[in-house]
Chain A
Amino acid sequence: MITPQNGIVDDYLARLEAAATALPADRRTELLEEIRQHIGDALSDANAQYESVVRNVLEKLGSPADIIAAEAPLGSAAPQPASPVPDRPRPRIDRWKIAGLGLLLLAALALLAFNSSQGDSPGTRPWPSPTWSSTTSVATPQ
């Protein structure tokens, strides 16, 4: 039962719902219900009299973005979270490699601009997200 401080809880659930738009509808409903029930359990456990208690429960739950990011299993592409996952491990690249890849990226951009000005259909190579692995694939000889 969530009676006191409904505003904070409602706000949290609304943010979670907004973050969950990428999930399939049935899973979204289910997750929201699970989190709602969790909050209810945690609050009845903690005897929620004070706003600070409610805030603490929500803080321990984690940010809506973290929860939705966890819906995407490691090593799988779907479902994509609405925002990029901040703590995804990235390949280790030293400074010189970054500089080199930067130059390659510029070269690839120039090549792409040149190709499209030559009438190459731009639809055949959709512009990839700016991760290092895809920049290297763009930079392979045409």
Chain B
Amino acid sequence: MVTDGGRSGVSQLRRGVLEFCVLALLRDGERYGFELVRDLGAAQAMVTSEGTIYPLLSRLRREELVTPSWRESTSGPPRRYYTLTPAGHRALKEFTAEWTLFRDAVDRLLTHEENNG
């Protein structure tokens, strides 16, 4: 039953995919929390409540997909920078392969429906 134009479906999808987007941002180099939020915000509607990124980072730390290190900052207190662990790299690689298949399958179905509807 879709009554909201698929918004709740997309929001659930976003919640599941967000952690891999964080891992993907960290693949290119270390970042701290606020930078991640800013970069995710630049990708349209990727995060609805920015503060939820911190619980997510805490979980990724516990799962040892990312590793934190404290760095001095030019302004304000030291910052916690995150880098991908080897397990993080693996998880991202696996997800990327799965996602490609999933995305293509959904695209095919949606396009098919559009062409026939």
When the two chains form the complex, which single residue of B11, B49, B50, B77 contacts A37, counting CB atoms closer than 8 Å? B77
Are A62 and B50 interface neighbours, CB within 8 A?
yes
Are B12 and A89 interface neighbours, CB within 8 A?
yes
> Which among B37, B41, B58 has the greatest number of chain A C-beta atoms within 10 A?
B58
The answer to whether the Cβ of A44 comes within 8 Å of any Cβ in the partner chain is yes
A-B pair number, CB within 8 angstroms? 65
Contacts of A54 in B (CB 8 A): none
Number of A positions contacting B (CB below 8 A): 27
Write out, one digit per residue, whether chain A residues 61-89 have a CB within 8 A of any chain B CB (1) or not (0).
11110111011011000000000000101
Contacts of A38 in B (CB 8 A): 33-34, 37, 50-51, 54
Number of B positions contacting A (CB below 8 A): 25
Instruction: Name B45-60 residues within 8 Å CB distance of A.
Output: 48-52, 54-56, 58-59
Are B58 and A31 interface neighbours, CB within 8 A?
yes
> How far, in whole Å, are A64 and B33 apart by their CA atoms in the complex?
17
> How far, in whole Å, are A73 and B57 apart by their CA atoms in the complex?
11
Instruction: Name B2-53 residues within 8 Å CB distance of A.
Output: 8, 11-12, 15-16, 33-34, 37, 41, 48-52
The answer to whether the Cβ of B79 comes within 8 Å of any Cβ in the partner chain is yes
Are B33 and A34 interface neighbours, CB within 8 A?
yes
Are A37 and B58 interface neighbours, CB within 8 A?
no
Write out, one digit per residue, whether chain B residues 77-90 have a CB within 8 A of any chain A CB (1) or not (0).
10110000000000
- Listed from nearest, the 8 A-B pairs whose CB atoms lie closest are A62-B49, A70-B52, A70-B55, A67-B51, A61-B51, A41-B34, A71-B55, A34-B54
Q: B residues near A, CB below 8 A?
A: 1, 8, 11-12, 15-16, 33-34, 37, 41, 48-52, 54-56, 58-59, 75-77, 79-80
23 A–B contacts from the bound complex (CB under 8 Å): A1-B75, A30-B58, A31-B55, A34-B33, A37-B76, A37-B77, A37-B79, A38-B50, A41-B76, A44-B76, A60-B50, A61-B49, A61-B51, A62-B52, A63-B49, A66-B49, A67-B49, A67-B54, A70-B51, A70-B52, A71-B55, A71-B58, A87-B11
